[in-house]
Amino acid sequence: MPNINRFTPRTLVGTILIAGFLAFAAVVILTHANSSEADAIKTGRELDVAIFGRGYFSVRQFQSGKTGYTRQGQFSINANGYLTVGSTRDNWLLDPAIGIPSDYVAINITPTGTVSIQSGMSVAHAGEIQLTGFQNEGGLRELAPGIYEATDEAGIPILTLPGTGGVGFLQQEWLLREDDGERWDWPFAILIVLLLIVTWILIQVRFLRRQFDDLKKED
C-alpha cells in the first residue's frame, strides 16, 4: 500500500521556508512590542529626560495657550528662564511651568520628577515634572511633530507624578529614539499572525490533496 506520509525534498524545503517565515514574523512582533522602553540612548546632557513608561509630558504653547502632550524630553531654557520642549523657537513650555535661574550651575531631575537647582553653593527646589496618561494613546491627534492633543477617543488626560498611575519613571541624561513615537498596533500584529496561520494551513491542505491524487493514480 502506498505511504501517505512520504517526505520529499520539496516538502522539506517548503517546511523550512514556512518555519523561517513564522520565526521572522515572531521576532518582528516581539521586537516592536517591547521597543517602547528599549529604544533609548544615554546622552549625558542634563536637560535630556526620557520617560520609561507610557506617560507624556504636558506642554503649553506660549502664544495660544494651547495644551499639548509629548514624549520628547529634549528640554531647553527659553529667554524667560522656563523649561521648553525642543527648540526655544517652538515655545512649547513644560506645564506646570518650571523656572530655571540664569546663574544655575547644575540641574538634577529625579525619577519621580523632582527638579532641584544648584546655584553657587546652595540647592533649591524648582518644581515637579508631572506626566499625563491616557486610556487610549492611539487616539491622540498630532498638532506638530511629536506634539499631540487630547481627543474623546484618547480619553480624559490624567495628570500625575512619575511613578504613580502607570505613567512610568523619568531618567535624566537619556532620550527616547525618534521612532519611539510609533505605537505598535496590536490588532495589526494579530492579523499578521492569523494570515500566517491560514497560509500555512492552505499549504498543508494543498500538499495533502496532491498526496491523495497520487494515491488515486497508483490505485
Q: What is the pLDDT of residues 88-99, one digit of tens each?
A: 666 899 999 999
Q: What is the pLDDT of residue 123?
A: 95
The residues pairing with 42 across neighbouring beta strands, listed in sequence order, are 174
Dihedral angle computed from the Cα positions of residues 183, 53, 114 and 87, in that order, rounded to the nearest 10 degrees: -20
Higher pLDDT, 209 or 130: 130
Pairing of strands 114-119, 106-109: antiparallel
Burial of 29 (0-12, 13-18, 19+ CB in 10 A): middle
C-alpha distances out from residue 203 to 17, 193, 199, Å: 12, 15, 6
Residue 218's pLDDT band (cuts 50, 70, 90): low
Q: What is the pLDDT of residue 2?
A: 47
Q: What is the pLDDT of residue 122?
A: 92
